Amino acid sequence: MKKVLSIIFASLMVSALISGCKNTPPEQNPGRSDDDQSSVSSVTQDSEKTDDSQAQSSDAPNGDDSGAESSEEKESSAAQDSEPEVSSDVSSASGNKTVDISDVNVRPADWTVVEWENYSNQYFTLTIPKGWQVQWQGDANRLEWMATAPDLTVGMYNIDHDYASKDASMMQALGMNMSLQDGTVEEYFKTKFAASTEYFNIQNSCVPANKEFIQSLIPKYPMRDYQTIYATFKDDNVEGEGIYSAAVMESRDVVIRGANYGTWSINCVISQWAPQGQFVSWSPVLAELATSFKYTDYYIQEWRAIAQSIGEPTSSVNDTDPVLEAFEERNKSDTIIQEKRSDMIGEYERVYDNESGNIYRAYNGFLDDIGDQSRYTAITDNQYTQGYVGWIDKLE
């Protein structure tokens, strides 16, 4: 991440296109999962309890008017009376029960216990999870910012517009840090992450429904490509997943003595990421962060002076629909495979709490240890796409 930020921040242009799109998380590759973080408060139980057992009773049939029992019935009754009473807390058939339900230790996930705090500088304000960091640079001409968890594994990045040369041989001369041949969103993000990740695999992409809105923010130039992609990545042996969105605008070639001085303008760049298997759980937190973004009066005044406009700049950051669209369009069968693989590597198993309706990531072997009971059960394949709200740790 540090490598990427240094590249991004060092290449900011002094002059740039005026664009209303703001916010794009820096190319970060969050992947260190938060399984080892300290416990916080207990998870709120939000589902009604269900009664899984019903009492059943039956009257013995009367053979005659005197109500006398046959010898066979008496023997059957005596045999039933002599059977030992079975406890509801009986061990599993294998006899391996080592944990009682009352001793299960549930540790809530960070995204379920977020405390919010306000952040502000001269150009914008945000509401961020307590303890998160905000880095920014630029001005009303070109603003770039990033909000991340302390360990950088979860976050959001935005830049209103970025640039890339059309001719790779002219990249250095134009003061840019990348060159794009085709001028597509996928090419932009693949190129941006090429040096900082072991892999950056695009799983799927879609054209968000707000395309006309984005075009209205940049009416001067026709839109060449607008995509939101869902990708998985690995950086420093840590796996992560994220949503990446941008709009590439059409531009003219500027050929002088055989060299193309033309550039691509990439606008409304936004990224959100989390460790592999946690993006769906962190999404509500990242969405609330995004919708809290606001420009200050000082920024608006400076923007009007630069743009020679009496209007107000509009941010695309507050619109979280593109993120949701791309994530919902992902191949869920691939997600299930990735989630199972993540659990296998981390030695976890996911369980469903039939009392609370919550899904937890438990240590491997938890269901064997807890034995025969009806509260915790293994989740279905489809439930792997729903995230989880906490961990069940093994008792020491």
Tell me whether residue 44 is in a domain: no
> Quick one: 242 and 355 in the same domain?
no
Q: What is the pLDDT of residues 377-394, one digit of tens each?
A: 999 999 998 889 999 998
> Quick one: 302 and 346 in the same domain?
no
318 versus 180: the higher-pLDDT residue is: 180
Q: What is the pTM of this model?
A: 0.70
Which two tokens mark 93?
């058939």
Q: How far is CA 45 from CA 42, 129, 358, in A?
A: 9, 22, 8
> Quick one: 177 and 279 in the same domain?
yes
> Quick one: 7 and 151 in the same domain?
yes
Tell me whether residue 384 is in a domain: yes
Q: How many domains does the chain have?
A: 2
Tell me whether residue 287 is in a domain: yes
Q: In whole numbers, what is the pLDDT of the chain averaged over residues?
A: 77
- Per-residue pLDDT for 57 more than 60? no
> Quick one: 222 and 349 in the same domain?
no
Q: What is the pLDDT of residues 307-334, one digit of tens each?
A: 777 666 777 676 666 666 666 666 677 7
> Quick one: 153 and 250 in the same domain?
yes
Average pLDDT score over residue span 107-112: 95
Among the listed residues 315, 147, 320, 155, the one whose alpha carbon sits nearest the alpha carbon of residue 242: 155
Q: What is the DSSP letter of 168?
A: G
* Boundary-marking domain end, from 308, 330, 352: 330
> Quick one: 303 and 341 in the same domain?
no
> Quick one: 230 and 345 in the same domain?
no
Judging by DSSP bridges, how do beta strands 143-148 and 155-165 pair with one another? antiparallel
> Quick one: 301 and 358 in the same domain?
no
> Quick one: 343 and 268 in the same domain?
no
Instruction: Name the residue range of residue 381's domain.
Output: 337-393
Alpha-carbon distance of 348 to 295, in angstroms, equals: 43
> Quick one: 240 and 345 in the same domain?
no
Give φ, ψ of 9 to 5 degrees. -70, -35
pLDDT grade, residue 81 (50/70/90)? Answer: very low
